[in-house]
Amino acid sequence: MMEFQHEAIFCIVNDGYSDAVMEVAKKHGARGGTVISARGTATKDAEKFFGITVQPEKEIVMILVPSQHKDDILHALYKEVGLDSAGQGIAFALPVDNVVGIAQTKDEA
């Protein structure tokens, strides 16, 4: 099985909560991220199923992190900006097999 050195974390939150996402992620090893404005398309059935009110305006925060930080960041995001919070965020990670254009810190080398 291939071992990945980096993971891309995607966190989708209500509009205005990307700063909270980055604050949490940085406390757990992230160095930065990219925010994309987005629009959700959930139906009323999805709102009933999840027991939440869906705001259509969203922000997607993409964060590239060393693999060893992924679990800590995901757990912290769930706790601080997850579905039970005002941010109503969901987060997931995908493995990244190649990275160029970033400088490694001593911890990552």
At a CB cut-off of 8 Å and minimum separation 6, what does 30 contact?
9, 22, 63, 65, 69, 73
The residue-averaged pLDDT of 55-76 equals 95
Per-residue pLDDT for 31 more than 70? Answer: yes
DSSP string for 62-94: EEEEEGGGHHHHHHHHHHHHSTTSTT--EEEEE
**pLDDT (tens digit, 9 = 90+) per residue, 44-59?**
776 677 666 667 899 9
Mean pLDDT (the chain, rounded): 88
The residue-averaged pLDDT of 20-40 equals 95
**pLDDT (tens digit, 9 = 90+) per residue, 73-109?**
999 999 999 988 999 899 999 999 988 887 765 555 5
Give the predicted TM-score (pTM) of the model: 0.82
